[in-house]
């Protein structure tokens, strides 16, 4: 899907999520774009590549993927969360990030770039260049223009 169409579809939910949680819409959209190839590789409406751990009680989908393990890129098939739609996925990602103490520092950040670096530092992805890739997507599409004021206490 063209990036402009992808952004248009995701923008309302990303901004609603930012108002409710403080997670910048720019980083939500950039992460969804990076993880899904601008909506081309979406299984189970999971835009962010969130895996289904033992605690997950919702739907799942088996997805072939690559991970970086001990410095080596390897192919694996893993269980990922599945959703009925993208809006549900965006809000579940927010709950996932809020519920995991390792992402607490992210919520002190106020910019998409700060969020990208904090998420990567917290271990969101195994790719050592993850933050730089997110930031490149945000800057390439001037995504900071999509950020709105949060309506939650800092």
For the chain, give every domain's residue range. 3-146
10-residue mean pLDDT series, the chain (154 residues): 96 96 97 96 94 94 87 91 96 95 96 96 92 98 93 60
β-pairing, 60-69 with 72-81? antiparallel
The topology (CATH level 3) of 3-146 is Lysozyme (1.10.530)
pTM: 0.88
Instruction: Note the pLDDT tens digit of each residue in 30-66.
Output: 999 999 999 999 999 999 989 999 999 999 999 998 8
Give the separation between CA 22 and CA 107, rounded to whole angstroms. Answer: 7
Catalytic residue among 16, 84, 92, 147: 92
Catalytic residue among 62, 67, 84, 132: 67
Catalytic-residue membership of 92: yes
Percent of the chain with pLDDT over 90: 86
3-state class (DSSP) for residue 64: strand
Secondary structure class of 103 (helix, strand, coil): helix
């Amino acid at each position: 899907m063209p990036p402009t169409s992808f952004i248009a579809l995701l923008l309302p939910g990303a901004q609603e999520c930012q108002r409710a949680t403080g997670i910048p819409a720019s980083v939500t959209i950039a992460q969804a774009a990076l993880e899904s190839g601008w909506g081309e590789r979406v299984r189970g409406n999971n835009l962010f590549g969130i895996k289904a751990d033992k605690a997950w009680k919702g739907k799942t989908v088996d997805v072939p993927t690559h991970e970086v393990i001990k410095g080596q890129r390897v192919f694996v098939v893993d269980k990922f969360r599945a959703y009925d739609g993208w809006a549900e996925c965006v809000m579940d990602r927010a709950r996932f990030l809020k519920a995991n103490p390792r992402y607490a520092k992210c919520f002190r950040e106020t910019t998409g770039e700060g969020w990208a670096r904090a998420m990567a530092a917290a271990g969101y992805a195994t790719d050592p260049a993850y933050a730089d890739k997110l930031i490149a997507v945000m800057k390439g599409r001037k995504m900071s223009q999509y950020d709105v004021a949060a309506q939650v206490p800092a």
